[in-house]
Chains A and B, each alone.
Chain A
Amino acid sequence: MIKIEDLQSSVHDALKYLKGRKGVVDAEVFASWNDLTTIRLNYTSDIPCNGIQEPKSLQSYGLGVLVTFKRGNRTEVGFGSVTNDLTRDGVSESLAKAKRNRLHDPDFKTLPDPLKAPTLQNYHDHNVMKISDGDTVDLGWRVLEGSLDTFNAGGYKKSIIIGGDVTILKERMAVKSTRGIDDFDETTSLAANITAMIENRNVKGTGRSLSTHLNTFQPEEAGREAAGSAIRTIGGECLKSGKYPVVFGKQPVADIASNLLIPSLKLTSVNASNTSFLRKLGQNISSRNLNIYDDGSLEGEVGSKKITCEGIPTGRTDLIANGILVGFLANSYFAKKFKNNIYHPIPRSGFRSSSLGRDYKIRAGISPTNVIIEGNNETTKEDLIHQIQDGVYIGRIWYTYPINGLAVGDFTSTIIADSFLIKDGKLCAPLKPNTIRINTNINNVLQNIIGITREKRSTSVWGSGAVIIAPEIAVNEVQLDTIASPIR
C-alpha cells in the first residue's frame, strides 16, 4: 500500500524535475495507487460449488506525466507513465515516453487551470483501507448467509442459485501541475450486487448495498433482498406483445441512464456526432418534469470524489433541467474545444477511469460521478402505480444497448426479474422473467414520462463506473415484445 504522503511528495518532486527540462512548457503529474478487491460469489444448491468462487485483488501504482513542449511556433503534447516507480528515475522514464509520444493536436489548448477549492474533505474510511483478507472474505459469506436464511425461511432449499460479488475499491491519487493545480484525494467504496434464483420456479431477484464506509455496508441485507425478491415473483404470468404504460424501477432507470443517457450526454459523443442530443442544447428533449445532473461532491455517496483526476473540484453539472438540455459532461480538453460565447462547460468529469480505479496509465477521459435523476413534481411509488392503472412494473432489465447507435436512440433490453403486472392501479401478479423484450427509443421514453418518485436509491450497473441515484419513473407507450422463455 502506498501512502497518500508518498504520492504527494512524488508529484511535488516530479514537477520540480520537469520544470527544469529543456523544451518543457507546462507539465501535469498524476500519481495514484489503487486496490480493487472482488469476492465473487457462486452458490448453487444442486451443483458442487465453492460458495465464494475466489477472493481476488488487482493492485497498481505509478505516475503519469502530461507535458506540453514547444517545437518552432507549435505546441506539442505528449503523455508517458511508469508503473511501481515514484522515484526520479520513474519521472525521467515518463518524460522520455512523453517526448517520444508527443504530437501537435490543434484541439489541445492548455493543461487544466485551477478552479475554486473543493468542498469534500477526508470522506474516505480508514477501516476500509486496512481491512484484512479474512474480514474481506467474511463480507462475501455474509451475503450468502443472508440469502440462504431467507430462502430457508420460505421453505426453499433446492434449485437455489446465489451469485454476484462484493467489491471493495480503494483509491489514492495526487496531482500537481505548472498551471497551479496541487491537490490529492482518497476514496473508498464497497458494493454488493447480488442475484438470487429459485431456478425450478424460474424466478430471480436482485439485491444491493453500496457504501463508502464499512459500518454502513450491509452485504447480508443485499443477500436477503435478492432472495426475498425472487420468492415474491414466484408464479409469474406472461404478457402479450404491445405498447404499455410502464413503471421503470430503480435498476432499470440506472441501466438505461448508464447505457443510453449518460453516454449521450458526454462531450466525446458530441465530438463524434454520435448522440441523439446533437445540436439540441437549449432545446426541450424530455418531459418538463425531468431533471438530470451529475454531482461528485455529495457527502456519503459512492460516486463522490473531492477532485477530478485533472485536479478540478467536483460539483454539480446540470445536464437536463425542466426537460431542457442544458449541458454535457466534460473534461478539460473537450471543455476548451467546445467553449463558445453561449456555452462554457466546466470540466468536472475529467477522470482517468479504468477497471482498476484512478489509473495513472491513461489520460483523463470523461466519466460521471453520481448522476441524480429527479422530478419537479415527485410522487410516491404507490401514486405512480395508481396513475398507470393497467400496465407493467419493470424491476430489472438486462443487456440494455443502443441497438442502432446512440445517435438514433433505439434501445432494446430483456426483463429478467423483480417485475409485476399492474392492474387497477395496484401491483398484482409477478411477470414471468425472461419472457419480454423491451424495444423502444430513448427519445420516446424521455418525452413520455408521466411521473417520477421522490424516493431514490444509489444504483450501479455491471460494467459501468457510474453511480445513478435513481427514482422510479412511469412512462407511457413502451413497446414490449414476447420472447421464448428459457428451454427447460
Chain B
Amino acid sequence: MKPDIKSIDKQKKIASETLLRRYESLKDCTYLDLRLGIGEFKSASSENGTPKEVMDDYEASFGIRAIAGEMPSWGFYGQSIGKKNLTNENVATLLASGIDIAYRRARANAKKKLELKKIFDSLTGVRLAKINVCQDIISADFEIDPRSISLQKVLKTSNDASRQMKNLDPSVQFTATVIKTGITRELFCSSEGAMIDQSLPLTMGIITLSAQKGSACPEICYDYVGDLRGWEVIEGKNCYNVSFHNFAIERTKDTIELAGAEFLKTTIDKVVVVTDPHFNTLLAHEIVGHPTEADRVLKMETAYAGRSWLFQSQEKNQIDNRIASPLVNAFSDPTIMGFGHYKYDAEGTPARPITVIKNGILKSFLNGRETAAILEQEPNGSMRAITPSMVPLVRMTNTFFGPGRKNPESIIKEVDDGYYIVRHKTPSISESRENFRISAQKVYKIENGKLVKLYRGGGIMANSKDFLMSVDAVGNDFKMFPIPDCGKGQPMQVMKVGNGGPTLRSRARLTGY
C-alpha cells in the first residue's frame, strides 16, 4: 500500500518516545527536536497542448536539531525516508541514529567553540527564548480534498489550459502549464514536551508562455495561482477569483498584446508611479519581508541573502524610527490564509500576527527562538523549513502592506503625468535591501488621470526608504498573492510565502529596455 499522510498516525508515539529516551541518555544535551513529515501529491505538466509528465507520489523525511556540549552548540541531521522505513521498528532505529549524529556534531562543535572562545570573544552558548510548549493537532482545511482528484483530471486541466493558450493566436510560440495538488503532514516533538501534528493542503497552477510578433523579442510570461487549500483553488477560489483555465487565458491575451507593445525607456529622474497590489506583493516581499527577518538583522545571512538596512546594532537601528510615510502600515500574519499560513512554526512556536510598520514607524522584526533570545524579544513564530530534513530559518510568512482608505481609481485619476505599474515580474535587490529594481508585467503611461499607452519591458528602481517615505496615497483594494519561489539558506530552500498590499502611489525612476 502506498504511504500517505495517515502513515504518520503510527509514528507519533514512536517519534516522541524515541526522542525523549535518547535525550535522557545523552550527556550535556540541553535540547532536542524532531520533525517528521510526509506529503502526498498529484501533479501534471503540459506543453503546447501535449502532456509532458504526471506524478502521483509521496515524499517523506525527518530532521533532528540538537543542542549539546559544555558551551551549548547546534548539530543537525536530515534524511529522506521511504516506505520501507515507515514501519514502527525501522522508524525508531532511523530516528535514534539521526539523533546520535546530530548530537555528535553538536558536541564536536561545542568542544571547538570552547577552545577558541579566547580568540573569538563574542562566541556564546546557544540560548532559546522561552515559548508556550504546546500539544495540538491541526487538520488540513479544504473544500475539495486534493486526494479525491484523479490524476487524469489534474492532467486534463493542465493540458486543456496549455492547448487553448497555444491556440489563442499565431503569435503564441510556447505554452506550458503545471498543476500540483496535495497535502503535507508534519510532526514536531521536542525534549521540552511539545507534540504538534500539523497538516496543510497545497494546490497551485503555474503558467509559462512566450509570444512573438514579427522580429521583435519574444514576450515571456510566468505567473501562478496557489494557496494552502484544496482543489477549489484551481476551480476559482484563489486570489484572482477565476479558474486556473481562465487565469491562463487572461495572461495569454495580455502577453499577446504586450508582444506588440513598445519597450519602456529608462528615465534619469524620478516620476510619479502608481503601483498595483500585484506589483506591491513583490515590493512588500523584498523591502519589508526580507529586511525584517531577524537572522538577516543579526548579520547571519551576510554571505547569502544579505543584511538589513534597518539594523546596525542593538544600540543603532531603526526600531521606533520613521522609515515610511505615515500612510504606510505593514504586517506579517501566518494566522490568515495565504502561502505563509500555519498555526505553529517549525520550532513549535504558536503563530501570531506581527505589526512590522505602524503609520510609517518600524515596530518589530520576524524571529525564531534563538534570534529572539539574542535580540531580547518575544519569539513570534517565524521559523520554517521547506521539508523536515532541512534546517528551519527565519522566513517571512504572509507579509504585506496594510490597506488604506483611498479608491484606487481616484489614485490614478489624480495623476496628471505618471505611470501605472501593473503586476510584478523579477526583482533585483541590493545587499541590505536599501535599493531595489523590480520589473513589471505591464506599464501604462498616465496622462491627465487616464491610462493612455501600454509599454513592455519596464519597471521601477528606487532607494527603499525614499520610496516608502514618498508614498502619498494608499488604496482600499488590499489583496494577497502567492510567491512560490523565495530562495534563502545554504543549501538553498525555495519557500512559499504570501505577500500583498493595496495600490500605492509614490515616486521612482522608470527602468526599461
Interface residues of A (CB under 8 A from B): 36, 38, 40-60, 62, 79-85, 87, 89-90, 93, 97, 100-101, 103-107, 133-134, 136-138, 141, 144-145, 148, 161, 163-165, 167, 193-195, 197, 199, 204, 241, 271-274, 276, 278, 355-356, 361, 363, 398-408, 410, 412-414, 416, 433-434, 437, 439, 441, 462-463, 481, 483-488
Return the contact of A439 from the options B126, B312, B432, B437 (Cβ within 8 A): B437
B428–A413 contact, CB under 8 A?
yes
Give the docked Cα–Cα distance between A53 and B106 (Å): 10
Rounded to whole Å, the gap between the CB of A404 and the closest CB of chain B is 5
Give the docked Cα–Cα distance between A161 and B461 (Å): 29
Give the docked Cα–Cα distance between A276 and B427 (Å): 19
Give the docked Cα–Cα distance between A441 and B220 (Å): 16
Give the docked Cα–Cα distance between A78 and B84 (Å): 22
| Dominant SS among interface residues on chain B | mixed
A105, A165, A487, most chain B CB atoms within 10 A? A487
The interface residues of chain B lying within 8 Å CB-to-CB of A193 are 303
Please provide the 7 A-B residue pairs with the shortest distance between their CB atoms, ordered closest to farther.
A83-B82, A56-B76, A163-B303, A484-B463, A195-B303, A54-B74, A164-B303
B56–A403 contact, CB under 8 A?
no
B192-200, B225-233, B294-302, B332-340: which lies at the A interface?
B294-302
B56–A437 contact, CB under 8 A?
no
Return the contact of A141 from the options B116, B425, B430, B432 (Cβ within 8 A): B116
- Assuming the contacts A82-B83, A134-B108, A403-B511, asked whether A272 and B176 have C-beta atoms less than 8 A apart, the reply is yes
- Assuming the contacts A49-B124, A163-B301, A398-B306, asked whether A133 and B437 have C-beta atoms less than 8 A apart, the reply is no
The reply to whether the CB of B137 lies closer than 8 angstroms to some CB of chain A is no
- Assuming the contacts A82-B83, A401-B427, asked whether A463 and B492 have C-beta atoms less than 8 A apart, the reply is yes
B426–A163 contact, CB under 8 A?
no
A56–B77 contact, CB under 8 A?
yes
Interface residues of B (CB under 8 A from A): 47, 50-57, 59-60, 65, 73-85, 101, 104-106, 108-109, 112-113, 116, 119-124, 126, 151, 155, 173-174, 176, 208, 210, 212, 217-220, 266, 268, 298-304, 306-307, 309, 312-314, 316, 318, 374, 389-391, 425-432, 434-435, 437, 439, 457, 459, 461, 463-466, 487, 490-492, 511, 513
* A-B contact list, 13 entries, CB within 8 Å: A51-B123, A54-B391, A56-B105, A59-B78, A148-B119, A161-B302, A355-B492, A403-B425, A414-B435, A416-B431, A439-B437, A439-B461, A484-B435
A487–B434 contact, CB under 8 A?
yes
Give the docked Cα–Cα distance between A485 and B124 (Å): 31
Give the docked Cα–Cα distance between A404 and B457 (Å): 6
- Assuming the contacts A273-B173, A439-B437, asked whether A60 and B218 have C-beta atoms less than 8 A apart, the reply is no
A462–B73 contact, CB under 8 A?
no
B511–A439 contact, CB under 8 A?
yes
B431–A398 contact, CB under 8 A?
yes
A194, A361, A413, A462, most chain B CB atoms within 10 A? A462
Q: A148-B120, A271-B47, A439-B266 are known contacts; what are 5 more A-B pairs with Cβ within 8 Å?
A: A59-B79, A84-B81, A273-B212, A439-B511, A462-B492
Give the docked Cα–Cα distance between A42 and B301 (Å): 8
The interface residues of chain A lying within 8 Å CB-to-CB of B101 are 57, 133
Give the docked Cα–Cα distance between A90 and B463 (Å): 55
A271–B124 contact, CB under 8 A?
no
The interface residues of chain A lying within 8 Å CB-to-CB of B55 are 79, 101
Which residue of chain A has the shortest Cβ distance to B488 in the bound complex?
Answer: A463
Which residue of chain A has the shortest Cβ distance to B60 in the bound complex?
Answer: A83
A50–B457 contact, CB under 8 A?
no
Which residue of chain A has the shortest Cβ distance to B173 in the bound complex?
Answer: A273
- Assuming the contacts A50-B123, A137-B108, asked whether A57 and B77 have C-beta atoms less than 8 A apart, the reply is yes
The interface residues of chain A lying within 8 Å CB-to-CB of B120 are 43, 51, 144, 148
Rounded to whole Å, the gap between the CB of A305 and the closest CB of chain B is 19
Give the docked Cα–Cα distance between A104 and B46 (Å): 11
Give the docked Cα–Cα distance between A357 and B91 (Å): 24
- Assuming the contacts A104-B51, A199-B312, asked whether A271 and B76 have C-beta atoms less than 8 A apart, the reply is no
Which residue of chain B has the shortest Cβ distance to A108 in the bound complex?
Answer: B52
Return the contact of B430 from the options A41, A199, A414 (Cβ within 8 A): A414
The interface residues of chain A lying within 8 Å CB-to-CB of B212 are 273
A138–B439 contact, CB under 8 A?
no
The interface residues of chain B lying within 8 Å CB-to-CB of A53 are 74, 300
Rounded to whole Å, the gap between the CB of A240 and the closest CB of chain B is 12
The interface residues of chain A lying within 8 Å CB-to-CB of B52 are 103, 105
Which residue of chain B has the shortest Cβ distance to A481 in the bound complex?
Answer: B461
A486–B434 contact, CB under 8 A?
yes
Which residue of chain B has the shortest Cβ distance to A78 in the bound complex?
Answer: B54
Give the docked Cα–Cα distance between A487 and B427 (Å): 21
B463–A483 contact, CB under 8 A?
yes
Rounded to whole Å, the gap between the CB of A444 and the closest CB of chain B is 11
The interface residues of chain B lying within 8 Å CB-to-CB of A52 are 73, 109, 112-113
B465–A145 contact, CB under 8 A?
no
Return the contact of A83 from the options B53, B81, B121, B457 (Cβ within 8 A): B81
The interface residues of chain A lying within 8 Å CB-to-CB of B173 are 273
Give the docked Cα–Cα distance between A356 and B80 (Å): 10
Rounded to whole Å, the gap between the CB of A438 and the closest CB of chain B is 9
A404–B426 contact, CB under 8 A?
yes
A55–B83 contact, CB under 8 A?
no
- Assuming the contacts A58-B390, A105-B50, asked whether A82 and B112 have C-beta atoms less than 8 A apart, the reply is no
A407–B218 contact, CB under 8 A?
yes
Give the docked Cα–Cα distance between A88 and B176 (Å): 36
A408–B76 contact, CB under 8 A?
no
Give the docked Cα–Cα distance between A65 and B331 (Å): 46
A484–B439 contact, CB under 8 A?
no
The interface residues of chain A lying within 8 Å CB-to-CB of B124 are 48-50
A163–B432 contact, CB under 8 A?
no
Give the docked Cα–Cα distance between A307 and B301 (Å): 35
A271–B300 contact, CB under 8 A?
no
Rounded to whole Å, the gap between the CB of A77 and the closest CB of chain B is 9
B78–A58 contact, CB under 8 A?
yes
Which residue of chain A has the shortest Cβ distance to B268 in the bound complex?
Answer: A241
Give the docked Cα–Cα distance between A483 and B119 (Å): 37
The interface residues of chain B lying within 8 Å CB-to-CB of A363 are 53
Return the contact of B113 from the options A50, A104, A148, A407 (Cβ within 8 A): A50
A437–B113 contact, CB under 8 A?
no
The interface residues of chain A lying within 8 Å CB-to-CB of B81 are 83-84
- Assuming the contacts A83-B81, A93-B83, asked whether A403 and B439 have C-beta atoms less than 8 A apart, the reply is yes
A488–B316 contact, CB under 8 A?
yes
- Assuming the contacts A85-B83, A355-B492, asked whether A408 and B217 have C-beta atoms less than 8 A apart, the reply is yes
Give the docked Cα–Cα distance between A46 and B312 (Å): 10
Give the docked Cα–Cα distance between A59 and B173 (Å): 41
